[in-house]
Structure 1
């Protein structure tokens, strides 16, 4: 069984192979139209999706003209295409787009006059323009692809950075929770001391007043004593209730401290893991960013 390390390295190498840019090659070629073989120029289009390249090529050929691209046996023909980069006048373009593994090949023949095609023999200036036109077409598609790849990797990186920020904020929240609950415990313990002192005083006064009440005769003084005892009972009940409330708050705060204390190590492990992922993703993103930069320099 392959180790996790081996699998991780394999996956990383796979990503890096995707991030490695490929050259765009332009070269002389020929195109068979019916029984005729005409001079043409071919350009490689690395990595780009066939349907996207085809749609873009047809769109460019039809731009600025009412003429439409006709396709037969995967060969495309358009009469009266307006390609100002090549010629101020409408020209005919014969082309085909082939799909090879990981690379497309666009072959195009430009007919500037009847049976006169752009080639080295027709004039160096027009020939160079045609080469540059096809190379630019390929480059633009390749740049779009590389940019989408770089953007996707940058998004992954930002998602990881947001995840780390969220974990850091969560750790801060847990630490503040511990501090707040410790303060609550201290305050409630202080309140229990105060209320116990109150109970000591009230109980002593109750004992004394109950003793005095037992020897009193019915009358106004007895009623006043009974009212006083009633008020003392209320104070006692209030103190007991306050103590119970403080004990409940202490119990709740203690549980929250324990929970937060247990969660912090887990949070720190997750932060460490995400930081490692960020470091790896930064390397991946940089590869794709470098790829985009290199392709733009073609």
Structure 2
């Protein structure tokens, strides 16, 4: 079991890329983590990690070693979950990754109520617009927004997503309100690089519109703030701008048209025979919280 503990520490450090973060997740000091890693390397007579002042990364042999022992470490954790199904009570550390805007608007505001229900749980929440690999980085759960590709992961739909064209009324008063998709070509259209062109569906079926404008960005946050600031028209999810639509700060443009691709908000986690109670608790809590929200009406 002592060897297993060293392996678990090593796997956690590789996934976190940091001794400090791994120690925090395991409840160990950096000094203890470093000592245990050194002991493992001495026992194997090989260097497993490159250490710098800012980051830790596996050596070539360390990466091969990690790929072989990570499934074993995960299997042991799953077995422990099985036998401790008093794990009906959520406890420990839950690692979650979520998109930046979504996490800020629809996860963080609910955390007070969540922790009141689960006082023995620690949530390590990382907000990023990059699709972090869940298994490789050691996340228990990821929140994904959009259309999921098939994978070996389990996905639970939390809520629908409806995407609409919207703009600030002052912009539309000055530039004119489009009567149809063809009119969008005369407007400033705000989109991230990977959202261009817009694929819409309306009364006459699907259509494609190139989002042309002076702004180039990969950030959804930039597009959101730009449309709220009155720069142009954007295709946004209702969960992202429902408060502004409700207050009148933004108005829907071409209400008969929405994004063509079906999308949703999903909780995605590694496929396991026994899902840890902490993972189930977070998913169930979000589903209950989102059920009554006006942020994502069904299309």
What's the TM-score, normalizing by structure 2? 0.25
TM-score (norm 1): 0.25
| Structure that is richer in strand per residue | 2
Structure whose residues are more often helix by fraction: 1
